[in-house]
Amino acid sequence: MVDAVHIFELKEADELYVNPIRELLAQLSSSQMDFTVDTLKELVDAPNVHLFVATCGERMCGMLTLAHYAAPTGRKLWIEDVVVDSSLRGKSIGRSLVQCAVERAKEIGGTLMLTSKPARVAANALYRSSGFEQKETNVYKMKV
């Protein structure tokens, strides 16, 4: 049984959140990430970034980032870094996080997008069932 899940947007950079976010990020990617209180401050202070966290009781159990910007073709919104603690997956925490982000995106307006590796079968099923349509495109990245 999962404690009641509470989802909220982090509005201040409290050191209390740094280690739980680090632990979630380690489950999201095998790449080493240097997440600090300064990183958290940069996120929560940015007017175009919304960091949503899910708590189960006193424990942080998931997170999601919603970012947005204006472009000549219209406002773009991106969902990034969706992760739920591996011990609590399959309990609709990810769905609740995505629904929160979708509701905020509707308030902002624009086109909401995300990417997901094909190997993440459950995540892709979640996104399709949440109303996202798969787009035929290539994604490229460059570390700068």
What are the residue ranges spanned by the domains of the chain?
5-129
Q: Does residue 68 register a pLDDT over 70?
A: yes
What pLDDT score does 3 carry?
73
Per-chain mean pLDDT for the chain: 94
Calpha distance 59→17 (Å, rounded) = 10
pLDDT-based confidence at 29, cuts 50/70/90?
A: confident
Whether the per-residue pLDDT at 30 is higher than 90: the answer is no
Q: Is 7 helix (H, G, I), strand (E, B) or coil?
A: strand
On whether the 5-129 domain is CATH 3.40.630.30, my answer is yes
31 band by pLDDT with thresholds 50, 70 and 90? confident
